[in-house]
Amino acid sequence: MDNQVSIVELTLVACCQQSILAVQLPDERIFARVESFCDALQVDTLAQLRRIRRQPALTAHLVSVLVMTPSGLQEVEVLAAQAIPAWLSAFKPAGWRQRNERSFSRSNEKS
């Protein structure tokens, strides 16, 4: 990532009963912090960042931004909102299949 920019606005957005850090850049594009999403989805952040970087279509939407925190200025990696659906559609978190198979089996038993 060669681009590092400062943010205009910072907010938290609810997702999966977690808070996702969202930022608005000076050009008004909206991004979400990859680490926040990974924490909410219980997937490994570093593995997901490696996967994003292997896909040129996603890498083009990955940006490093500076965020002011209580402990000072920090650099975080954010993904453009428009790229999030493509990123999420390509992976299944560990245990996803088992959880959903159990859920499907229970719903079939009720019918």
Per DSSP, the three-state class of 47 is: helix
**Highest averaged pLDDT of the listed ranges 11-25, 34-48, 90-104:** 34-48
pLDDT at residue 40 greater than cutoff 50: yes
- Taking residues 71-85, report their average pLDDT: 88
pLDDT in tens, 89-103: 876 655 555 554 454
H runs (alpha helix) in the chain = 34-41, 45-54, 56-59, 84-89, 96-110
CATH 3.10.260 fits 4-110, yes or no: yes
Question: Does residue 46 have a pLDDT over 90?
Answer: yes
Q: In the chain, where are the structural domains located?
A: 4-110
* Of residues 73, 77, 100, the one with CA closest to residue 87: 77
Residue 81: name the closest of 28, 31, 38, 33 by CA.
Answer: 31
- Above 60 in pLDDT, residue 54? yes
pLDDT for position 108 = 41
- What integer pLDDT is reported at residue 95 of this predicted model? 55
* Residue 48 reports pLDDT greater than 90: yes
